[in-house]
Amino acid sequence: MNTGVRIGLYAAGLVVAFGAAYGVGVQFGPEPDRPVPAEHGGHPRDTGGDHREDHGAARPASATPR
């Protein structure tokens, strides 16, 4: 058997092995999580647009957009 045939058989074996593993995983694997329903009724926290405490140091006044 020459090298090309051996590599081809090896690649075909890998395709069969991974294809079988994929098929078993699809058939018997865990079910995907159900989406979590959105919570309604509350209002988002109003910070008044001041997020400096969330991002570290305050920007200088010259860097403030107008």
Q: What is the pTM of this model?
A: 0.46
Give the model's pLDDT for residue 7.
97
Maximum Cα interatomic distance, the chain, rounded to a whole number of Å? 77
Give the model's pLDDT for residue 17.
98
Give the model's pLDDT for residue 55.
59
What are φ and ψ of residue 59, in 5° steps? Answer: -80, 150
Q: Domain extents for the chain?
A: 1-27
Give the model's pLDDT for residue 30.
83
pLDDT in tens, 1-60: 899 999 999 999 999 999 999 999 999 988 878 888 877 666 566 556 655 555 566 666
Q: Which secondary-structure segment (H or E) carries 25?
A: helix 3-28
Give the model's pLDDT for residue 48.
60
C-beta of residue 58 within 8 angstroms of C-beta of residue 52: yes
